[in-house]
Amino acid sequence: MGADRAARVGHYPGPYGDIINAIAVPQTHTTGVVSTVNFEYRAFDTLGEEFILFIAATGVATVLRHLRQERDTYAVDDVFKRLSPVALIDAIEAIGAGSFAAVGIAALASGAAYLTNILPLGSTPGAVTLY
């Protein structure tokens, strides 16, 4: 059974991978199929997973916050804090999470389904063009 299982690893027998590979590029004009699946076909799931991760990280930071004052600080920590200030990084992460939700709401405002891509597709898959 071990050899049989090893032969199956990496060989997905279901049809969904083949279907996505066949339709993703023509349908979305992107060449990054993994990102396309995350942000086009599974966008609502991705939004939920993003907020679950955000809440988990916030919870861990809250629980461990009091430990920051109990340990000694080192010069390396001070350099790191200057290079990536926590307040700025937290603000950028919050803006990113909020922007992802705002994109979905913008689609609703235009009359489309939540997180529908309402922007026009490019003419050449993978190319960065204005039309």
DSSP assignment string, 6-75? HHHTT---SSHHHHHHHHHHHHH--S-HHHHIIIIISHHHHHHHHHHHHHHHHHHHHHHGGGGGGS---H
State residue 115 phi and psi, 5-degree precision: 65, 20
Is 0.75 surpassed by the pTM of this model?
A: no
Report pLDDT for 38. Answer: 83
Q: Label residue 68 by pLDDT band (50, 70, 90).
A: low
pLDDT of 59 strictly over 70: yes
Higher-confidence residue: 54 or 83?
54
Number of H helices, E strands in the chain: 6, 0
The single-letter DSSP state of residue 110 is T
Give per-residue pLDDT as tens, 7-44. 567 677 778 888 888 898 888 888 888 888 888 888 77
